[in-house]
Structure 1
Amino acid sequence: MTAMALSSQSRRGWTSTTVKIHEQVIQQYRVQASQWAGEADCTVPGVEAAAKAMADALIAFAIQCETDVSPTRSLAANQEAVAIYRRLAAAHRPKYHADLAAALSRLADRYEAAAHSDDAVTATEEAVTIYRHLAAARPDKHYADLATALSRLADRFEAAARSSEAMIATEEAVTVYRRLAATQPDFYNAELAAALHALGVRRAREERHAAALGAAEESVSLRLRLAEVKPDMFLADLAASLRVLAGRYDDNGYPEKSLATIHQATTAYRRLAEQQPRTFGPDLAACLVDLLYRQDPDDHSPESLILIEETIAALRVAADEDPTGGYIPDLAACLLALAARLEAAARPDDALEATEQAAIHYRRLAELDPATYQPDLAACLLALAARLEAAARPDDALEATEQAAIHYRRLAELDPATSQPDLAACLLALAVRRSGSGRRDGLAALEEAVSHYERLATDRPDRYRQHFASGLMLLSIWWDALGRHEPAATAAQTAETIYRQLASHDPDTHLAELAAHLHGRATRCSPLLNPDAVNNLQEAAALYRRLAHNRPSEFTLDLAGCLTDLAEFHASLNQRVDALAAAEEAIVLYRQLADTASALHSPRLAAALHTLSRHLGMHAKHLALREAVDLNRRLAETDPTTYQPRLAATLHTLATALDGLGRTGQADSSRTEANSLLHEGESAPVTSRNQNPAAH
């Protein structure tokens, strides 16, 4: 047997002996009481003393029975003691009022421990009433008792869902503690701070945000001073108040103060958790979660990553030590946040691993509480599918999307208003992934998604018309590919009508969508078969010019790409002047992009010079191709696998242009170099006429 077990056994034996002694004393008083004539008169001195002694013995007996012997016997003893004090108070008021109030407070504690909340409230209310009378007569002696009783009453009102009464009791407790602290701050500032802390929380629940903030700030101010003097005693209280104060700053629209305050709380909890990890580790984990949620979700700095990793580590420890403590939902959410930051930090494998861990947690949570966690599981599965697809695991991505769709269908059946948008988005992703896996049922998922968006757009056009138009556009592409040209054209036209309406009402948001729609619709067909294709491209280019003028970093590349396609369309219609103008404008734009971000846009400039050179005059073509060769040559030095074939193709095109200029020697030299590059890459020579490097 261990020393701890021996100690526990000895303590139980000692307690049992003490209880037996109390029982013997009480039994003696019972014998005396049985000798009292039926209705013993407590005004008789001997009877009064015996009754008081018996009540005191019952209280002592109840205290011994509270934990180690029998809580039920403790409750019964308290009830009997209160009954005796009532008789004494009735006979000798106010001599025994303080004893009765104290006994009622103890009885309320026992009721609360036995889950008799209504009885606990009733007993505490009676105690408060008595203490008010006592404090009115002797404030120096009973004000503290009144304040304590009021605080307990407020907590019990709160537990009984009587929030308005809890607020009244808390405000009165604060008033009393203020008076006490005004004269004895060393004794009562801690209690005043605790009462203010509770007051701030309860005012916040009533959405009295300004008043709640004032109480929280005062509580923190008091606890700061207390913690400076006695950190071992008050640092934990300070940390709790700081965490609450951060929430109050949020409620009142002070995000910077909220963030600074939660940082202070986290620092305090780190210090506490270092000294007592089992006690304060869970508090640190919860505070770190609060801090994390106040961070900018787009903050992908190393410091942000360190914070979330610390949060996850703390949550894991807390969850391991207390599996039922409610830490798993926060852990799962933090893992998803970690995945997003790892993805932004170009760590896709780690991001995928974090998302897989989150999915495991959400599956378990959804099994236990589907109503609460099935939406989180479905969203996590969609995020997992996207990362699996990025990891070149299309089958696993499809499986995760299928699972997400199952969950969203169930959710949409139970609550269509909330879950139908998620179901539609999931079906859209499912359609694309089924199609990518060669499955023909992708079209059915897409058609279902579009039908959902149509209903949503009817009910809430301001929010879902854009989604409906996007779905229609994709559906028209698929129908076109299947030869269903008439419904495809109808869907595309409906989408265009919606995009025009959206752009007319909110051009800043939707003009780019209209331009992209017109561009995409035009390039899906030959201008020889559809005369509107060139008009659509010209309108798209005009829209992109407008967008690029106001937001060049976002839309210059789109404009250049649109002009490249427009040059090709004009050339196919033998509109050489228009083709030349579009090509020259596109090349100018690609040069501007390459000047601002060479590593990103030099490949695009090289491809554009190669592709668009065919629309230039002989000398301009030669210069453009020379520049493209130089660009590809520099790119091939750092990435030969990607750019050596492109360099070879550009050299072949340059050779043809040199032939046209009569420079056969230079042309042969270019062809020789091109063939040598292709031979090194173990590829057959190709001509540039059938290539479009700009597509890369």
Structure 2
Amino acid sequence: MSDVSMSDAEAEIQRLRAVVDQFRLKAREQPDSLFPAHADALLRLGSLLAETGEVDAALAAADEAVQIYRLLAEVDPDSFRMGLASALNNWSSRLSEGGKPAEADAAVAEAVAEARMAMAARPDHARFILVSCLINLAGSALRVGDAERCLNHLSEATEVFKSAGEAGVTFLGPMIEALHRAALAFGEIGLWGEAVDTRRLMLALFPGGPPPSMVHLLALTLQQASLAMAGAERLEVAQQCADEAVELAHLLFDKDPVEYRLILAQALGNQGGRRFQRGETQSALDVVLESVNLFHQVVNTDPGGAVPSLILTLGTLSAILHGLGLADQAAIVDEQKAQLQQTLERMLAQKG
């Protein structure tokens, strides 16, 4: 947080503390009265305190807000159940930050239950609270290693979000970001099937057809999955991922050959490697030659993106040529690869 934003946050914290103190005074003067704005001020205060590192104070503020909303929901559940769900969801985050994972998990589970009940009564108002709670619950599931439950919660969150229609446009960016982070998290722990499925959920957010950037992310994740599966000797799955990545790259290339030529070249190079790995040598050669041709078309305009991938693809081409008994041609490719490796090293030295 910058000095300016820190100063602004500290000023807002002081303002909110004053507001909370005023509500506490009102509560003492009117012990039978409850004020939703009191709870909302506490939640906002807790979030700001968490951002400035005051974890214990943030947790205390969220806890107090939850207690207020519990009482409000007991009096008028139709009006305040949504607020309770949101407060519980916020409290869960504060508990997690405070090193209390079990309590955090229980809080977010309760938040989802309250949000579901609120959806039954007031779906248009409660929908996005339920989505937020489900995403938080998905994170809770992943933290305890339950990837299947995590993906199920993400799938439900996506379906609930889609049911909003045009009303969801305002929240589309945060929804994409949440799914994007989940896909990255799955990939980081080697759950590539779940990472790919999460990318598909991102595409499902666009009923009229996803933008090229979303398709691109799915294609890249499929390529990463293909490489991981190949390393694990799951060659059939690796090939399936590679083939789908090429299909998507072709779709992108057909729409914008300049922007997506490199993506197609990389996808084809990976596809050729997977075919060669499965013993489909001639087919692999055809695909890899197409890939190399595309790389040569883009290497001058985007050397940083093209050269590392071209080096890998030339390595695959050399292996294929050796497999076909074409040692002389393979030697020529190896020389090209060595020259490119030197070029890459000079590029990296210049950056350093």
TM range (shorter): 0.5 to 0.7
Residues 267 and 229 from structure 1, CA distance in 2 versus in 1: closer, same or farther, beyond 3 angstroms? same
Residues 432 and 192 from structure 1, CA distance in 2 versus in 1: closer, same or farther, beyond 3 angstroms? closer
1:181 deviates by 2.1
Map 1:136-155; keep pairs closer than 5 Å: none
Indicate which of 186, 192, 196 corresponds to 2:42: 196
2:175 corresponds to: 330
The separation in 1 between residues aligned to 2:202 and 2:44, in whole angstroms, is: 38
Gap regions ≥5 residues in structure 2: 227-235, 276-282, 342-352
1:378 corresponds to: 216
- State whether residues 315 and 337 of structure 2, in contact with CA within 8 Å, keep that contact through their aligned partners in structure 1: yes
What letter matches 1:377 in structure 2?
V
1:392 deviates by 6.7
Confirm whether residue 398 of structure 1 aligns to residue 246 of structure 2: yes
Residues 392 and 242 from structure 1, CA distance in 2 versus in 1: closer, same or farther, beyond 3 angstroms? closer
- State whether residues 242 and 267 of structure 2, in contact with CA within 8 Å, keep that contact through their aligned partners in structure 1: no
Confirm whether residue 216 of structure 1 aligns to residue 62 of structure 2: yes
2:32 corresponds to: 186
- State whether residues 245 and 258 of structure 1, in contact with CA within 8 Å, keep that contact through their aligned partners in structure 2: yes
Residues 356 and 407 from structure 1, CA distance in 2 versus in 1: closer, same or farther, beyond 3 angstroms? farther
1:241 deviates by 0.9
Residues 240 and 411 from structure 1, CA distance in 2 versus in 1: closer, same or farther, beyond 3 angstroms? farther
2:133 corresponds to: 287
1:275 corresponds to: 121
2:11 corresponds to: 165
1:247 corresponds to: 93
Higher RCO structure (Cα 8 Å, ≥6 apart): 2
1:284 deviates by 1.6
DSSP 3-state at the match of 1:179: helix
Residues 322 and 249 from structure 1, CA distance in 2 versus in 1: closer, same or farther, beyond 3 angstroms? same
1:441 deviates by 2.1
DSSP 3-state at the match of 1:361: coil
Q: What is the number of equivalent residue pairs in this alignment?
A: 298
What letter matches 1:443 in structure 2?
V
The separation in 1 between residues aligned to 2:306 and 2:166, in whole angstroms, is: 49
What letter matches 1:398 in structure 2?
V
The separation in 1 between residues aligned to 2:337 and 2:248, in whole angstroms, is: 29
1:268 deviates by 0.4
Map 1:362-511; keep pairs closer than 5 Å: 366=211, 374=213, 376-383=214-221, 397-403=245-251, 410=259, 427-433=265-271, 438-439=286-287, 440-444=289-293, 452=304, 473-474=315-316, 476-478=318-320, 480=322, 483-485=329-331, 488=334
1:245 deviates by 1.6
The separation in 1 between residues aligned to 2:58 and 2:315, in whole angstroms, is: 51
Indicate which of 288, 294, 299 corresponds to 2:146: 299
The separation in 2 between residues aligned to 1:324 and 1:209, in whole angstroms, is: 33
DSSP 3-state at the match of 2:141: coil
Over the matched positions of the two proteins, sequence identity in percent amounts to: 22
Summarize deviations over 1:381-412 as a string: whole Å, max 9, x none: 3456889x969798765341245579898599
Summarize deviations over 1:567-588 as a string: whole Å, max 9, x none: xxxxxxxxxxxxxxxxxxxxxx
- State whether residues 220 and 241 of structure 1, in contact with CA within 8 Å, keep that contact through their aligned partners in structure 2: yes
Confirm whether residue 358 of structure 1 aligns to residue 206 of structure 2: no
Gap regions ≥5 residues in structure 1: 1-157, 368-373, 413-422, 457-466, 496-696
DSSP 3-state at the match of 2:171: coil
What letter matches 2:316 in structure 1?
L
1:191 deviates by 4.3
The separation in 1 between residues aligned to 2:155 and 2:201, in whole angstroms, is: 16
1:260 deviates by 2.4
Q: Report which stretch shifted further, 285-294 or 395-404.
A: 395-404
- State whether residues 479 and 487 of structure 1, in contact with CA within 8 Å, keep that contact through their aligned partners in structure 2: no
DSSP 3-state at the match of 2:24: helix
What letter matches 1:326 in structure 2?
F
The separation in 2 between residues aligned to 1:408 and 1:221, in whole angstroms, is: 58
The separation in 2 between residues aligned to 1:162 and 1:408, in whole angstroms, is: 47
What letter matches 1:322 in structure 2?
A
The separation in 2 between residues aligned to 1:404 and 1:299, in whole angstroms, is: 34
- State whether residues 201 and 212 of structure 1, in contact with CA within 8 Å, keep that contact through their aligned partners in structure 2: yes
Alignment TM-score, normalising by the size of structure 1:
0.35
Residues 220 and 191 from structure 1, CA distance in 2 versus in 1: closer, same or farther, beyond 3 angstroms? same
1:123 corresponds to: none
The separation in 1 between residues aligned to 2:272 and 2:56, in whole angstroms, is: 54
The separation in 2 between residues aligned to 1:321 and 1:453, in whole angstroms, is: 37
Residues 180 and 378 from structure 1, CA distance in 2 versus in 1: closer, same or farther, beyond 3 angstroms? same
Residues 252 and 478 from structure 1, CA distance in 2 versus in 1: closer, same or farther, beyond 3 angstroms? farther
The separation in 2 between residues aligned to 1:393 and 1:199, in whole angstroms, is: 47
Summarize deviations over 1:197-242 as a string: whole Å, max 9, x none: 2211232344544432221122113322443444344322211111
The separation in 1 between residues aligned to 2:252 and 2:102, in whole angstroms, is: 37
- State whether residues 332 and 357 of structure 1, in contact with CA within 8 Å, keep that contact through their aligned partners in structure 2: no
What letter matches 1:380 in structure 2?
L
Map 1:680-691; keep pairs closer than 5 Å: none
